[in-house]
């Protein structure tokens, strides 16, 4: 797994989050860790096909997701992950991945992305623990968004 595979997703996430939530995220420590579903976490999974095969997974605590959706809605207080909130947080993952796939294309790597699949830890069984290249984005006033790349 090459560390440079995460760079387009990291750069895209910075740009998209700054545009939609009006906050400039800072970057945490790059590492490899087991992707496992934690309590009260939401996971946005987007598949990659083409010259890169695998998944991009964005993980965030439910409270962070609520704050992110609130920021995306211009500061309107969001208190529960209803259908609109789930749609908004899924679209965030879609926007980041779509932008990253354009960056990859411009580097000569042809990929397609699948629609986002939102998973809630309490409702998801049977996910095999996998190793992922991961980097957290820290967003002041919102929390942490983990970008995890599971590419073969």
- Which tens digits make up the pLDDT trace of 66-117? 999 999 999 899 999 999 999 999 999 999 999 999 999 999 999 999 999 9
Other beta carbons less than 10 A from residue 91's beta carbon: 16
- For residue range 18-67, list pLDDT tens digits in order: 999 999 999 999 888 877 667 788 989 999 999 988 889 899 999 999 99
Written as six digits, the tokens of 2 are: 């090459």
CA nearest neighbour of 35 among 121, 98, 93, 140: 121
Q: What share of the chain is helix, strand, coil (3-state, %, to 5)?
A: 35, 35, 30
pLDDT at 125 (0 to 100)? 53
Tell me the C-alpha distance between 72 and 84, whole Å: 12
pLDDT of residue 151: 72
């Amino acid at each position: 797994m090459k560390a440079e595979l995460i760079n387009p997703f990291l750069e895209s996430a910075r740009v998209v989050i700054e545009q939609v939530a009006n906050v400039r995220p800072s970057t945490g420590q790059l590492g490899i860790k087991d992707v496992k579903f934690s309590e009260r976490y939401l996971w946005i999974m987007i598949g990659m096909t083409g010259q890169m095969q695998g998944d991009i997974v964005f993980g965030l605590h439910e409270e962070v997701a609520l704050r992110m959706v609130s920021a995306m809605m211009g500061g309107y207080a969001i208190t529960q992950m209803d259908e609109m909130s789930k749609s908004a947080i899924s679209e965030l993952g879609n926007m980041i991945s779509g932008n990253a796939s354009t960056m990859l294309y411009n580097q000569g790597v042809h990929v397609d992305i699948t629609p986002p699949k939102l998973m809630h830890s309490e409702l998801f069984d049977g996910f095999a623990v996998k190793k992922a290249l991961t980097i957290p984005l820290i967003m002041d006033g919102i929390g942490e968004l983990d970008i995890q790349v599971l590419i073969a």
